[in-house]
Structure 1
Amino acid sequence: MYKNIIVAVDMSENSYRAVLEATKLTEEDTFITLLNVRDASEAQREALHGGDIIPEDTIEGLEKQTSLLDSKNIQYKLLTKTGQIAKTIIDEANSGSYDVIIVGQKGKVLKDIIIGSVSRRVLKESKIPVLLVK
């Protein structure tokens, strides 16, 4: 199986299914990185209007995903970055540290982005295998 898995996560149900799929690919010494990317312009707008840097619904969704990994005793870390979502995921996945990237086909990215555009770009530009989860 894989030793070092990166999973692109947000608070969507597809993201949860991606984490669930990652748990099926683990062995005793597998390490999972959950990568949550906040769109830079959205984070800036929220900060300027007094909003949280990471909204409460995102935190709750991520807690559901980390609880799944905790319940299965899987080693993981949560990596949160701000930037252009697809590019940030690709840059991290292509850093040379990972064996596979797992991403949900549809997530709650931005309302004005075509659904699935992030996963499509990750699939196209990743240098490592990509597992898309519906």
Structure 2
Amino acid sequence: MRKQVTTALAATAAVSAIVTATAFAHTEVKSTYPSKNQSVSKKLSKVTVTFSGQIRSGTIKVTGPSGTISSGKGGRDPRDVKRIAVPIKSSKKAGTYTAKWTMKAADGHTQSGTFKFKIK
């Protein structure tokens, strides 16, 4: 009986460890460029979102007083498998802009979010 209880406890501990590891394995936003609410110059040439883990794909759309200033949908940065990036058009007005992103993590989960920044 004692051996059965020990085996059951060990199995429960193993399952608990796997579930806990899985729960904490989700990819999260590590940083953005520009940073949330940051003011940047009109020389801004790209917007990026960097994640805590590898991603499969992603897009970013940037809009504000000049309309859409992102050039295309962007995508995963070929130099960093944890980042999505989009080039920014040269014509942009001063004001507040919103970057809306969507990403598919390596584990297949899709996530999305937004952040605002200012161009001066």
Which category describes the TM-score, using the shorter chain as reference length? under 0.3
**The structure with more helix, counted as a fraction of residues:** 1
Select the structure with the greater relative contact order (CA < 8 A; seq sep ≥ 6). Answer: 1
Bigger Rg, which one: 2
